[in-house]
């Protein structure tokens, strides 16, 4: 399940309004039109909230410096929020204070919050596309992954253990890939290319080919390869339900199903994915949500 600057598809962070103006990879699917959060993309369960599972959305050039500076001040605000009392003057926003309390009571390691904020001020605010797969993975490590764990990590007392953290890292990888593909047309129109440039070179495709939605064998091969990578990443998230808190399993399962539905829609769209963003539709998501709701009710005593 990506969060962001652009406000359109970010997964809303718990401290939205305090920590992050947008949202990151793993949030619930968004329906168009949707606003973004921070400069990165969307994407996961904590992320399960960004405009859709878009983890993070790389932001537009305008406002990056302002976003970077504001984000740099957040660690101090979070720390003050954790130590403030309702009667204190100049106290942090209630939502930020509540989040800081949750971090403290659940003993979430501070490094997840600091990593997310640092990533928002660097990898996110300075986003300028990816040269290759390594840069994409570095972006996930610096911003999208911590952005999801600052929320989903609260389900684990003391924070996620290595196995749990690794499972959410795989979730973020899948969510961000699906999100980038679903928003391909809109991102290109806004001047952002989120497919690594090296992969365009591998298929002899130019940025202009994508921006002009040229229906060529090379472009189709590139899109097929990208959706294939996203599908493999989504399959790699199998097993995450066993590592989630029982109360969050229905939400996590729903997010996975919605991501799979959206990826299928992108695959069916083919070259059309370059002409308009790919949504979730209405009927399929509604069925998924109703099924999840019924499942939760059946397990309620």
How many domains would you assign to the chain? Answer: 1
Name the residue among 22, 5, 53, 50 with its Cα closest to residue 266: 53
29 within some domain: no
12 within some domain: no
87 within some domain: yes
- Determine the pLDDT at residue 14: 33
Residue-wise DSSP of 195-221: S-HHHHHHTT--HHHHHTT---HHHHH
Q: Give 13: exposed, middle or buried? Use CB within 10 Å, 0-12, 13-18, 19+.
A: buried
- Determine the pLDDT at residue 94: 84
Q: Give 23: exposed, middle or buried? Use CB within 10 Å, 0-12, 13-18, 19+.
A: buried
Would you say 24 and 173 are in contact if contact means Cβ atoms under 8 Å apart? no
- Determine the pLDDT at residue 185: 97
User: pLDDT per position in the chain (301 positions), as tens?
Assistant: 444 433 333 333 333 333 333 334 544 434 333 333 333 333 433 333 333 334 555 544 334 444 444 444 445 555 554 455 544 545 557 888 888 899 999 999 989 999 999 999 888 888 889 999 999 999 999 999 999 999 999 999 999 999 999 999 999 999 999 999 999 999 999 999 999 999 999 999 999 999 999 999 999 999 999 999 999 999 999 999 999 999 899 889 999 999 999 999 999 999 999 999 998 767 776 777 777 667 666 655 5
Would you say 28 and 248 are in contact if contact means Cβ atoms under 8 Å apart? no
117 within some domain: yes
20 within some domain: no
62 within some domain: yes
10 within some domain: no
- Determine the pLDDT at residue 229: 98
Q: What is the CATH number of the domain that holds 162?
A: 1.10.600.10
19 within some domain: no
Other beta carbons within 10 Å of 103: 23
Would you say 35 and 7 are in contact if contact means Cβ atoms under 8 Å apart? yes
Whole-angstrom Cα distance, residue 177 to residue 5?
A: 18
**Structural domain that includes position 126:** 41-299
- Determine the pLDDT at residue 301: 57
- Determine the pLDDT at residue 163: 97
Task: Identify any residues that bridge with 44 across adjacent strands, giving them in sequence order.
Answer: 48
Say what the pTM is.
0.72
């Amino acid at each position: 399940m990506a969060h962001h600057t652009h406000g359109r598809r970010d997964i809303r962070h718990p401290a939205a309004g305090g920590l992050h103006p947008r949202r990151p990879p793993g949030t619930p699917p968004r329906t168009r039109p949707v606003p973004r959060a921070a400069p990165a993309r969307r994407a996961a369960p904590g992320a399960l909230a960004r405009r859709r599972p878009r983890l993070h959305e790389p932001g537009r050039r305008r406002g990056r410096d302002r976003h970077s500076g504001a984000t740099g001040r957040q660690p101090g605000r979070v720390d003050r929020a954790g130590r403030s009392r309702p009667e204190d003057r100049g106290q942090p926003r209630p939502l930020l204070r509540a989040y800081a309390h949750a971090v403290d009571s659940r003993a979430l390691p501070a490094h997840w919050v600091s990593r997310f904020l640092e990533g928002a001020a660097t990898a996110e605010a300075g986003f300028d596309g990816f040269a290759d797969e390594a840069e994409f993975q570095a972006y996930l490590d610096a911003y999208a992954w911590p952005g999801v764990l600052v929320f989903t990590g609260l389900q684990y007392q003391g924070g996620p253990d290595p196995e749990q953290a690794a499972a959410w890292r795989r979730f973020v990888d899948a969510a961000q890939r699906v999100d980038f593909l679903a928003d391909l047309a809109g991102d290109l129109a806004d001047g952002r290319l989120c497919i690594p440039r090296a992969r365009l070179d591998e298929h002899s495709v130019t940025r202009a080919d994508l921006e002009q939605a040229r229906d060529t064998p090379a472009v189709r091969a590139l899109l097929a390869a990208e959706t294939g990578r996203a599908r493999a990443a989504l399959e790699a998230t199998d097993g995450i339900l066993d590592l989630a808190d029982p109360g969050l399993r229905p939400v996590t399962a729903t997010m996975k199903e919605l991501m799979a539905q959206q990826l299928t829609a992108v695959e069916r769209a083919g070259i059309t994915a370059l002409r308009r963003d790919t949504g979730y539709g209405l009927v399929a998501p509604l069925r998924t949500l109703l099924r999840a709701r019924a499942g939760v009710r059946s397990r309620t005593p």
